[in-house]
Amino acid sequence: MFKKLNILDEKEKSLRKKSIDVVFPLTKEDKKLIKQAIQELTYSQIEEYEKKYNLRPGMGLAFPQLGLNKRIIIIVHEYEEGKFDNYVVINPKIISNSEEMIAAEAGEGCLSVNRDVEGHVARYARVTVEGFDENGNKIRIRAREDLSIAFQHEIDHLNGILFFDRINKNKPFFNENEIRLI
């Protein structure tokens, strides 16, 4: 039985709060929400389910978007047509990043932002993220390109930052000579 998550809209003040570190073990409720988020993010990237359940396509979600002030992010990355890697990172930290900057050419979107936002967000092309898995084991993930953007976007949520905060109001778009667009 599929049940849609209640994702907060950008107008919710709680999205601007800095989230607190999670203490292990995870609660049953947190584990249930993680499973639900993985299912919804996966379904949202498969056209048949996206239409069937009226989902907005998305590859990541942070617990603050569910109204929970906890440092948990979930990313479902389609690395090949119909094949997904699931990343659940608790208390994530970016421990290193590339000097090279990139931006999503089409701009970024967010499941909490129900409108089009014009502009590019400069992100690191590569990041290394450390944190913990659902069982409290330390993990390290190296992410590049679109996956790197997703990790930075979701970690921003944990710090009360929405992607459009990072768009330069005076110069919202980059050209290919300024930054690599992917």
Number of domains in the chain: 1
User: What average pLDDT does the chain have?
Assistant: 97
Domain-located, residue 161: yes
Pick from 106, 109, 31: which is nearest to 68 by CA? 31
Domain-located, residue 29: yes
* Amino acid present at 107: G
State the virtual CA torsion across 80, 175, 163, 135 in degrees, nearest 10: 40
Domain-located, residue 92: yes
The pTM for the full model equals 0.97
Residues labelled as active-site residues = 154
Domain-located, residue 55: yes
Q: Give pLDDT tens digits for 1-30.
A: 799 999 999 999 999 999 999 999 999 999
Domain-located, residue 38: yes
Domain-located, residue 9: no
Residue carrying the six token digits 């800095």 = 18
pLDDT of residue 1: 79
Q: Give pLDDT tens digits for 28-77.
A: 999 999 999 999 999 999 999 999 999 999 999 999 999 999 999 999 99
What average pLDDT does range 142-159 have in this prediction? 98
Domain-located, residue 4: no
b/e burial code for range 65-88 (CB count within 10 A of at least 16 → b): bbebebbbbbbbbeeeeeebeebb
Pair 154, 75: CB distance under 8 Å: yes
Q: What are the residue ranges of helices labelled H in the chain?
A: 28-44, 47-52, 145-158
Domain-located, residue 17: no
Structural domain of residue 57, as residue ranges? 23-181
What average pLDDT does range 78-93 have in this prediction? 97
